[in-house]
Amino acid sequence: MAVDAQGALGGLVILWDPNQVNLSKFLTTRRSITADFQVIGAGGTGYLTNVYGPNAPRDKSDFLKSLEWINHLIHDKPWIVGGDFNMIKSLSEKRGGRSIIEPSQLDFTDFINKCGLVDVETVNG
């Protein structure tokens, strides 16, 4: 499943092994792809969302609201959300640029908490 690039906005893609996972009922936006998933043989089900967040600060709030809308639609099952949010929760995740707390950091933390998500911290990116 893919969302084509639009100008400077890069595209999105979800690839999967159909022998391991069934994906269905796709919902796409300019910045996300969401699908029902079922792990074959394990019975695990839920939703998977791949995102590419905006760089422009003025667009970040609307992006998070669109994800909250998706969460509202699928609130009854596990939800895995991943990709490039172009946002951070804390200055410890920041590399380069000014070391100040941006309003989007607070919005991102609020989004994670409202949606009951767990931030899985990465190493080196």
CA angle 34, 13, 115 (to 5 degrees): 30
The predicted structure's pLDDT at residue 90 = 60
Percent of the chain's residues with pLDDT above 70: 80
Amino acid at 117: L
pLDDT value of residue 124: 65
Each residue's pLDDT tens digit, 61-110:
999 999 999 999 887 889 999 888 888 776 555 555 556 666 667 788 89
- Reported as a single tens digit per residue, the pLDDT across 2-61 is 676 666 666 788 888 899 999 899 888 888 889 989 999 887 889 999 999 888 888 899
pLDDT score for 92: 57
CA nearest to 64, candidates 8, 21, 115: 115
State residue 63's pLDDT score. 92
Distance CA 46, CA 35 (A): 9
pLDDT, residue 125, reads 58
